[in-house]
Amino acid sequence: MAVRKGIEVSLAVAEAAAACDVDCIAAYPITPQTHIVEHLSELVNDGELDAEFIPVESEHSAMSCCCGTAAAGARTFTATSSQGLALMHEILFIAANLRLPIVMTVANRALSAPINIWNDHSDIMTERDAGWLQIFAENGQEATDMVPICHRIAEDKRVLLPIMLNFDGFIVSHVVEPIICLDKEEIATFLPIYEPQQRLDIDHPITMGPVGMPEVYTEAKMAHEAAVQNSYEPICEILEEFGKQFGRTYKPVETYKTEDADIVYIMMGAAAETAMSWVDKVRDSGKKVGIVRFRLWRPLPVKAFKEAVKGFKVLCVVDRHFSPGGAGGPVAQEVKYMLYGEENAPKVVEVVAGLGGRDLDYDAFETMYDKCKKVLDGGEVPPFELIQARGGHYGKI
């Protein structure tokens, strides 16, 4: 029976994975995700989880091992962060294109250099093209709920793709929250016993990952793209089913106080909750602001996003990563792509903030509002900017 208890989010995520009856965990410790796999190792060692825990020498090996166990038909789980996710880079594409339903939690953390263990979204945004499904949680309850949801999505016969569950490192991962934790029996009513659709079996041998000659490589990539795009409807169905069963409903794109908004912030991750508190405060003073949050990042929920922002005048896209020497932040790039050619499309103001764990506080949202208000009043759309840079507005182009 589900119980609400005060627990560190990383431990709750680990217990959710255990309640999903995972068969194998292959992992390497890296801050700030270490507590997840550390707790899973304890559960396996203490006999509370009947699974194989495979300690490896690096994250590259962890993902390689996960590919092997998933290919053998095991329900596979892992976790990583930052440089660890970057070290997995080579193998992420293999897992995706082999259609291996691995679930990986990523406690989002800045990439070095300079070395930084705090939160931003540079790790996951660097891997946005790896071919994995990607979803975001804003708090501990969401992160815990998303573990069985992600297994259900990845293993759905219409999907069969690996998925990354993202939540902010430290800001979420290390916080103690009151979380409703579903037990194994409850999760079993939502998450069926895993039945792999293809697996390595010496009695029924198959080939996985053969050489893709030029004659077949393009078609293989198109097949993978079709699988990612076609996963959208099953994802929506599964999110809705979880909501009906457990009372907490999630959507690919979620909104907050946007009904009469003139300026809308586009965000993802835990900072959106701070933004919601700020919105509550400033609406009392007459500022018509709201928030649209991406929960699903891959596949990109184009139609749902367009519907969510239709009729607004100014969008403020808050990126926590950017492309040096390029066209600003990845979220802003995607937003402008989705709005290109749309009649009466809102104007897009791009800001980059919260890098390397710098607080996204009320003052930061006020700064963003001032930039957007000038555009709302008829001013030109400014170039993207690192708004929190000290010593001047570095980042203007």
**Band of pLDDT at residue 294, cut at 50, 70 and 90:** very high
- For residue 238, the enclosing domain spans 3-246
Mean pLDDT computed over 56-66: 98
Distances in Å between the alpha carbon of 356 and those of 35, 115, 143, 301, 347? 21, 9, 21, 27, 28
Q: Identify the pLDDT of residue 392.
A: 59
**Are both 131 and 47 inside the same structural domain?**
yes
- Same domain? 134 vs 41: yes
Give the pLDDT mean for 164-189: 98
Q: Render pLDDT for 264-285 as a digit per residue (tens, 0 to 9).
A: 999 999 999 999 999 999 999 9
We report the CATH number of the domain holding residue 283 as 3.40.50.920
> Do residues 214 and 141 both lie within one domain?
yes
| Core vs surface per residue 299-328: b (16+ CB within 10 A) or e | bbbbebbeebbeebebbbbbbbbbbeeeeb
- Tokens coding 269: 């991750």
- My answer on whether 48 and 8 are in the same domain is yes
pLDDT more than 70, % of the chain: 98
DSSP label at 382?
P
For tokens 């009151």, name the residue.
178
Query: Could you give the 3-state DSSP secondary structure of residue 146?
Result: helix
> Please, which residues have CB within 8 angstroms of residue 372's CB and are 6 or more apart in sequence?
263, 314, 316, 349
- Residue 393, pLDDT > 70, answer no
**Is residue 199 one of the residues assigned to a domain?**
yes
Residue 394 lies in a domain: no
Task: Among 246, 262, 297, give the residue marking a domain's end.
Answer: 246
Of 129, 114, 54, nearest to 83 (Cα)?
114
Backbone phi, psi, residue 181, to 5°: -100, 120
Same domain, 227 and 78: yes
In a domain, 391, yes or no: no
- Is pLDDT above 80 for 395? no
Domain assignment present for 236: yes
Domain identity same for 257 and 224 = no
At residue 391, the pLDDT reads 76
Torsion angle of C-alpha atoms 232, 227, 27, 66, degrees rounded to 10: 150
What per-residue string of b and e applies to 44-69 under the rule 16 or more CB within 10 Å gives b? beeeebebebbebeebbbbbbbbbbb
CA–CA gap between residue 157 and residue 230 (Å, rounded): 11
How many domains does the chain divide into? Answer: 2
Domain C-terminal end among 196, 230, 246: 246
- The angle subtended at Cα 215 by Cα 213 and Cα 216, nearest 5°, is 75
pLDDT in tens, 228-253: 999 999 999 999 999 999 999 999 99
Instruction: Evaluate whether residue 395 is within a structural domain.
Output: no
What's the Cα-to-Cα distance from 240 to each of 39, 190, 246, 247, rounded to whole Å?
A: 30, 12, 10, 10
The Cα–Cα gap between 175 and 140 comes to 8
Residue 380, domain member (yes or no): yes
Domain co-membership, 232 together with 362:
no
pLDDT of residue 397: 42
Burial (CB count <10 Å: 0-12, 13-18, 19+), residue 242: buried
* Residue 394 pLDDT greater than 70, yes or no: no
Amino acid type, 260: D
Q: In this structure, are 235 and 176 located in the same domain?
A: yes
Is pLDDT of 396 > 80?
Answer: no
Last residue of a domain, one of 195, 212, 246: 246
Give pLDDT tens digits for 300-348.
999 999 999 999 999 999 999 999 998 889 999 999 999 999 999 999 9
User: In this structure, are 83 and 172 located in the same domain?
Assistant: yes
Residue 326 is predicted with a pLDDT of 86
The greatest distance separating any two alpha carbons of the chain, rounded to the nearest whole angstrom, comes to: 70
CATH, residue 145: 3.40.50.970
The answer on 311 and 241 residing in a single domain is no
Same domain (yes/no): 31, 119 = yes
- What is the pTM assigned to this prediction? 0.96
Domain shared by 206 and 288, yes or no: no
Token match 């998303």: residue?
146
Nearest to 161 by CA among 240, 94, 250: 94
Neighbours of 15 (CB within 10 A): 25
pLDDT at 3 (0 to 100): 84
